[in-house]
Amino acid sequence: MNAAQRQPAEMKYEPLLQFEMEMGTFLSDWQHCDQLSTYMARMISHNRTDPLRHSNFFSSALNELLEVSFRGGSPEGRIGCAVYRQGPKERVKLSFPCPPGHQQFFREAVARTHRNDAYARYLDALSSDLGPSREVVLLDLAINFDAEIRLEEEAPPSITIIVDLPLEGIVS
Amino acid sequence: MLAAPFQAEFDANSQEFSFAGVIRPRSVDEIAHSISMFRNAIDEARGVLYINVKRLAQMNNTAFHAFSRVVLDACRTRSDIRFVVVTSSVVGWTERMFRHLGKIEPQIRVEVYDSKFYPGQSFVEDTSFIPILRTQTKMTWRHERKILPRHGMRPGIVMADICCGIGDFAVLVRKEFQPARIVALDHSKASLAYARDVAKNFGISDIEYSYGDASEMLLEDNQFDLVTCRHSLQIFNQPDLLLKELYRICKPGGRVYITNEKNSHCLGEPRAQSIQWTYNEVAKLFSHFEMDVELGPKSRRYLADAGFDDILVESFMVTNHDGDPQDFADVITAWENVYAGEMAVKRGDPAEFIERFRQGFRDHIFAALHPKGYAGWPIWAASGRKPL
Ligand SMILES: C[S@@+](CC[C@H](N)C(=O)[O-])C[C@H]1O[C@@H](n2cnc3c(N)ncnc32)[C@H](O)[C@@H]1O
């Protein structure tokens, strides 16, 4: 699919909610990940079939993404997070500044979520001694939340991760 | 914003380690204490260790990996031990995330705790209960709409109807009292689907219907001005557990409102004796399935034991004269179908018993539709205040 063909489908995602803040402020408190994901999840879930459970599920996924930006982001610049909806899916668009070279890591981690061995890699990571890497977190989203993940190319040092979450279908 | 605090506990008697609440640590060090507790529990355990995550609302990857590692390591060093991870169908991600552990180690089994909360569940969650609930609420509403304001109902409040069934009470309350928010929770998917359908047909989109287990809810503490729970304490084998949850989600100063029956006190004229015999048997039949449909007058005790104050108990009699006597007759027909047609059969009652059992319902209907007849169904409505 080329960009021109993709355009109309993308248009149908309607914006629900977004926040933007100084990355330095965001990084000043780990609790921001939990608080923002809980709050945003609650706001966007109120008109889902089962608001409570949708919100619980969505908060789980969003928190992991925010934690990725917390752990991998750099303090200069702004972090922005927007949630869109199309039918049973939510799209999370998360942009944040990261140190030079990190875009490449993200590109590889995202690519691995699309490979056939994604599940095997995920199980391997669970059984290995290392703590969860950002790759595992993305695999977790792909496997446990049926997320479709891609990167939007941006001028360094920013990175934009786009995650489509079909949670309404899983929850209800 | 109130997050449920994280809890990790070991019950040595049942060899059950349970995780509850929200745990999203930045690093493993923050949960070192729980991890070492978990390790010790495993060291102590013989045979099967249960890992209960039913009430685990949130756990990030950092914590999930850390706790998983402990279990996986134990599998490698202890061939004598088995793990059963008990997840809940309510918290969707736990089921999805924990099931992988069973794929890695055959010593780990992942179970979804779902049905069999209580013995009567299969009847109550069945679609055949829907007509009962529909006709019942129609009859009780006439009374409840008048008494509810005494129990804390007023416009603008935040309320929850727990064990909402097909949700008609929530719809009626919304129209009559205009609360600011209504959460309606039940564990019957069939009833919830019905409820959502009804709401949609009425163009109602602001009642939050949610699938959940009333004895382990995802709802946070101290949120609601009024928590209602109608005709449901009486169907749990442990009503005190349910009441504890209702108490937990109620705001200090808010109220919990419950309604219950005393089935043996259903009455009618003419044919009073046959009617009375049958309803005595109804109470026995329910108690066979560990449900106490005689609970109504015990409401005060239950509320007091759960820690409520300012307790208010009243009773009202739903009768064939409240409105169309046919409505009353429909309620009884629905009872007869489920109680005699399903529950008595399940208990293994002989045909002669069932016939006599049915006769009492028919006589009650006769009384209800008789021009000079009287038929009654008593309800106890009670509420208590959660102390400030
Ligand atoms: C007798 S009905 C009453 C329904 C409704 N309140 C009414 O008055 O019409 C009991 C309800 O409790 C629900 N229920 C039973 N166990 C439950 C549980 N563990 N969690 C949530 N709901 C439950 C059943 O599905 C059923 O809808």
Neighbours of B229 (CB within 10 A): 23
> Could you tell me which CATH number the domain at B121-385 has?
3.40.50.150
Query: Is the separation of the CB atoms in B163 and B192 below 8 Å?
Result: no
Pocket mutation for ligand 1, best pick of B186, B245, B289 (most atoms within 8 Å of C-beta)? B186
- Residue in B101, B30, B36, B90 with CA at minimum distance from that of residue B65: B101
Res. A5: pLDDT tops 70:
no
- B318 in ligand 1 pocket by Cβ < 6 Å? no
User: Which residues in chain B are contacts of A140 at CB distance < 8 A?
Assistant: 61, 97
| Pairing of the two strands A14-22 and A78-86 | antiparallel
> Which residue, among A56, A57, A128, A130, would best test binding to B if mutated, counting the most B CBs under 10 Å from its CB?
A56
Cβ of A53 within 8 Å of Cβ of B185? The answer is: no
Going from N- to C-terminal start, the domains of chain B cover 7-113, 121-385
pLDDT in tens, A55-89: 999 999 999 999 999 999 999 999 999 999 999 99
Which one of A47, A56, A144 has the shortest CB-CB distance to B205? A47
The answer, yes or no, to whether residue A1 has pLDDT greater than 70, is: no
B116, pLDDT greater than 60: no
> Does A33 sit within 8 Å of B62, measured CB to CB?
no
Residues of A with CB under 8 A from a CB of B: 30, 33-35, 38-39, 46-47, 49-53, 56-57, 59-60, 63-64, 67, 122-123, 126-127, 129, 131-132, 136-137, 140, 143-145, 170-172
**Optimal mutation site among B73, B90, B93, interface A, most CBs of chain A within 10 A:** B93
Q: What separation in Å is there between the alpha carbon of A7 and the centre of ligand 1?
A: 47
Report the distance separating Cα B48 and Cα B179, nearest Å. Answer: 48
Residue among B260, B117, B98 nearest B186 (CA): B117
**Confidence tier at B164 by pLDDT (50, 70, 90):** very high
B72 CB within 8 Å of a chain A CB: yes
Q: How many domains does chain A have?
A: 1
d(C-alpha B232, C-alpha B239), whole Å: 8
Please give the sequence-ordered ranges of beta strands (E in DSSP) within B45-134, or none if there are none: 48-59, 82-88, 108-113
With a threshold of 0.80, does the pTM exceed it? yes
Evaluate whether residue A5 is within a structural domain: no
Residues of chain B found within 8 Å of residue A50, distances taken between Cβ atoms: 209-211
Are A170 and B92 in contact (CB < 8 Å)?
A: yes
Reported as a single tens digit per residue, the pLDDT across B257-308 is 999 999 999 999 999 999 999 999 999 999 999 999 999 999 999 999 999 9
Q: Is B183 on the interface with A (CB under 8 A)?
A: yes
Report if residue A52 sits inside a domain: yes
- Residue pLDDT, tens place only, B227-263: 999 999 999 888 999 999 999 999 999 999 999 999 9
pLDDT at A2: 47
Could you tell me if B301 lies within 8 Å of chain A, comparing CB atoms?
no
Mean pLDDT of chain A: 91
Q: Which atom of ligand 1 is nearest to the CA of B213?
A: 20
Cα–Cα dist A57/B300, whole Å: 38
C-alpha distances (whole Å) from B323 to each of A25, B79, B173, B366, B386 are 63, 68, 19, 16, 35
Instruction: Quote the domain boundaries for residue A102.
Output: 15-171
- Is pLDDT at A4 greater than 50 in this prediction? no
Instruction: Indicate whether A60 belongs to any domain.
Output: yes
pLDDT reading at B218 higher than 90: no
CA distance A44 to A34: 16
- pLDDT interval class at B30 (50, 70, 90): very high
> Can you give the length of chain B in residues?
388
Position A133 scores a pLDDT of: 83
B40-65 mean pLDDT: 94
- Distance (Å, whole) CA B268 – CA B375: 4
Contacts of B166 (CB under 8 A, 6+ apart): B130, B133, B134, B191, B194, B195, B198
In whole angstroms, give the CA distance from residue A80 to residue A22: 9
Q: Quick check: B92 and A57 CB within 8 A?
A: yes
CA distance B273 to chain A (A): 47
Q: Is residue B4 pLDDT above 70, yes or no?
A: no
Whether the predicted pLDDT of B174 surpasses 60: yes
The reply to whether A9 falls in a domain is no
Distance of CA B193 to the CA centre of its chain: 17
pLDDT of residue A3: 46
B290 Cα: distance to centroid of ligand 1 (angstroms)? 15
Reported as a single tens digit per residue, the pLDDT across A126-169 is 988 777 788 899 999 999 999 999 999 777 789 999 999 999 99
Residue A8 lies in a domain: no
CATH architecture of B7-113: 2-Layer Sandwich (3.30)
CATH of residue A27:
3.30.565.10
CA gap B320, B318 in Å, rounded: 7
| Ligand 1 pocket, mutate which of B232, B244, B295, B338 (most atoms under 8 A from CB) | B232
